[in-house]
Structure 1
Amino acid sequence: MNKLLLAIQFYTRIPIPFALNYSKEETKRATKYLSLIGLIPALVMILTYHISLIILNTWSSLILSLITSTLVTGAFHEDGFIDSLDGLGGGWTKEDKLKIMKDSRVGSYGLIGYVLMILLKLSLYAQIKENILAYSFILVSVLARQVPITLTRFLNYVRGDETSKSNQYIDKLSFVDHGTAWVITILISLGAWQVLLKGQHFLLLLPIITLIVLIILIAFYYKKQLGGYTGDLLGASEQISEIYILLSIISITHFFY
């Protein structure tokens, strides 16, 4: 419970009203609950969407859903996506890329990429049928958060300074903790998939298998660019995975609805 609450405190803006048993090791191990924490912004999106839909149209309701979700997480992953685009797009050497990514200012690569990503995400959500949209919110939010967890298992953290804000939270999970994270992700995903595809559980293998392929491709790219990962790159991987999972839902449900 302590690890779960630490994960809520770190990965969302929800305040925990009592003291927790904080330590570097405890906080690192709390990462295994990241996909479970994905339920929080997903439920906020569902609630916002259905309340907004009473007086607003679909597009306005979707925009408000994304706004409230971003407020709950503090744009945690979006910030990493923006910084990653600035660093990878604007830097020539590894050192330049890392320096740009740590700069608090937003560059043209990050701004343009973020705007295009949000527009694409909204347009994809708008294509999902309303009766399965809530379950899509859950599947996207939970499954995408498993990607950065897996990347930390197979890549090294490239920032060497111990003062790095992310270094105290990010580390390779043990085999058991990493397995626990995958079990949590798959169980929640199966629940959402049960409704999305009317019990066609075996079809969940398609997005999961291809998601693993996506993880491998991202890992190779990060390895080539920087030799490993940073906290910003993990946030970027989560956002890229959200787009991929939305595309998977649209592609697969197209043949069942």
Structure 2
Amino acid sequence: MTALKNTLVFVFISVPPLVIVSLGLALVLDNLPEKLKPLFRTIYFVSYSISVTAVSAIFLWLFNENGGFINNTLVSSGLLIEPINWLSEQPYAWLSILVATVWWTIGFNMMLFINALDDVDGSLYEAADLDGANFFSKFLFITLPQIRNVALFIVIMTVIASFNLYGQSRLITTGGPQQSTTTLTMNIQETVLSMNQLGIGSSMAVLMGIIMLLITAGQYFLAYKKNDLKEVNKK
């Protein structure tokens, strides 16, 4: 039960930044000169090609409590008196995993958003400019409706990916402190491989699949139900 709660906590804290920040980066790249777009796409996407082991090693070095880059920088600059126990205290442990996950995977969502933005009809923006619409108006009334389906797909896929958190938690915090970052996937792995409880592990995996199905189905239903209501009101 603790592992399920921890997994839900990570889904809750990780999905918004993974979607919102990636959309923000996509909007920034979409407004860059054409010659610079390929360069910055590569820079932001390259982290996604790195293995979880390498990513965990990088962030272990950054967040290490004794001699880590972040603690050394904050202490030497006078912003901290004593080092922060990033990996052995909450909420810092979750923060470390969250930052590592966002840095590692955000490039994938960003590329999907960029492709969606490329398909938006440019004449809509030209008409909005003639009417004197500002950036936020164009974003709310043109961009978001046009990329709505892709955004819903990204949200659902991000929820599924966050539910499957394993490598970062295993390698960065080893499930601590006091199992507060032990996820459902880690629990299933330990139950099956370490405790040799195949039946219990299989039941946990099925339960995890059902929960993910219900959450994603709920997201899909709410999104399209809301859209159907809007269409009815227009008529």
The answer, yes or no, to whether TM exceeds 0.5 is: no
TM-score, normalised via structure 2 length:
0.32
Larger gyration radius, structure 1 or structure 2: 2
